[in-house]
Structures are given as structure tokens and as C-alpha cells.
Copies of this chain bind each other. A is one copy, B any other.
Amino acid sequence: MDADSYTRTDLTPEQSAEHDRVLGELTQRTRDLMDAQLRTEVDAAEVETISAALAGLTGRLLAKATNDPLGIEVGTDGRVRNAGNTVVGLRNPIAPPLHVERSPDGKAWASFHLNALFEGPPGLVHGGVSALILDQLLGESAAAGGAPGMTGRLTLSYRRPTPLGELSAEAWIENIDGIKTTVKGHIKDAEGNPTVEAEGLFILPRWAREAMAKARPERFE
């Protein structure tokens, strides 16, 4: 949680793309496995065989591995890469992932699918998962509008149940006041009805301002 948390990568864009392709494929295969192991009804002996095989594959992956979280990488093109992020991370199998689109006026939006891994009440999206997604989307809205920050306060109003399946979400900036940005947004069901509304206050702490300036001086100096 200091200036070294934002690291620079020296990979060329082509090398980055190949790296993303191979590791993104691994993460997608992991997502598929997570879903399958939740829904499986194969017999106990087969489950135990598969558990042992997974332990073997984990050992192979850890033959060479970092002990650190991925953090946030800033590419030679100035693009921020947060591959480990829980909601949008290319390499994070928890991430649905959200592919967030953004516009310079601070709008952010995404369409996504939530499967049984995101269940709370029967057949419905976990209320906390809606909060997780909206926190990320509102933060991206603030950043898209030139006012990035960490969540200071987040209020969620649950208007109706959010069914598992195809969903969308959008967020927009309500107000910018110095280092404080107020953002609103909602999740919508397949019929376009808002199910969960959110209002967030995002604040850019000093350590983050310093860290980002160090990693990307051309923008912050």
C-alpha cells in the first residue's frame, strides 16, 4: 500500500497480448471448473479422483509463483492493468468478469452473466454480489470522469430481486468536489428494470495520488 504498489511493465504490447491470451485462457478454464464442481452430481469416488488431480495441477502452477498479490500494473502505453481485480480481473476467476465500457464524461456500463456461483437467496443474485459489482462500476465511472478514488461511502437500495442470468449495470457522475466524487448507478434485470440502486462517494487518498504519480509521471506531474 505504497508508491511501489503501482508497478511498470516493460513488456511490449504484443508480448502483453500473448501473455493475456495464455493466462486468460487458464482463468476461463478455472471459472468453468468452479461452476462444474458446484453443479456436479458424479459419485464420491470420481469426486475424490478429481480432487487429487486438482491438487496435482495446483502443485505444477506453484512450481514457480509470486507470493505477492498482483497489484496494479502500468504498461508502457500508460494503460492501467488490474488483472487481479475481483470484479474485472482477466486473471481473477472470481471475476465474472465485467468488461466495463467507459466514456470521458464519467459514464461506465457493462453487460454480464451471473451463474449459480453468485447465488444468495434461491435463484437470486446475492445482495452482496450486487454491492461488489456496483462498487467496482461506480469507481470506474469516477475514474472515467477524471476523478479516480477509493470508496468512502456506498449506499445500496434493493428495489426488487435480481435473478441469476443476464444482467446489465450503468453508473454516472453526479458531482465532483475536489478529491471527492459522488457517483450513482444501478443494476438492471433482463427486462431493463432497475433491481439495485447505488450511490457512492469516492475519495483519492494521498498515498494513492503519490503512487500513481510515481508510476505514471507524464500524467500526474
Contacts and interface: CB of A to CB of B under 8 A. Distances in A.
Interface centre among A1, A27, A54, A64 (most CB of B within 10 A): A54
B29 A55 contact: yes
A70 interface: yes
Contact of A30 (B34, B68, B87, B124): B34
Contact of A40 (B18, B38, B62, B156): B62
Identical copies in the complex: 2
Nearest 3 CB-CB pairings of A with B? A5-B122, A128-B135, A128-B132
A127 B33 CA distance: 26
Given A65-B39, A69-B164, A85-B120, A32 B44 contact: no
A84 interface: yes
Contact of A26 (B51, B71, B91, B164): B51
Interface size class, chain A:
35 or more
A30 B37 contact: yes
A153 to B, nearest CB: 5
8 contacts: A5-B123, A22-B51, A30-B34, A70-B119, A72-B122, A86-B126, A120-B136, A131-B135
A86 B131 CA distance: 13
Given A30-B34, A127-B151, 8 more contacts: A1-B163, A5-B123, A33-B61, A37-B91, A38-B91, A39-B65, A69-B123, A131-B156
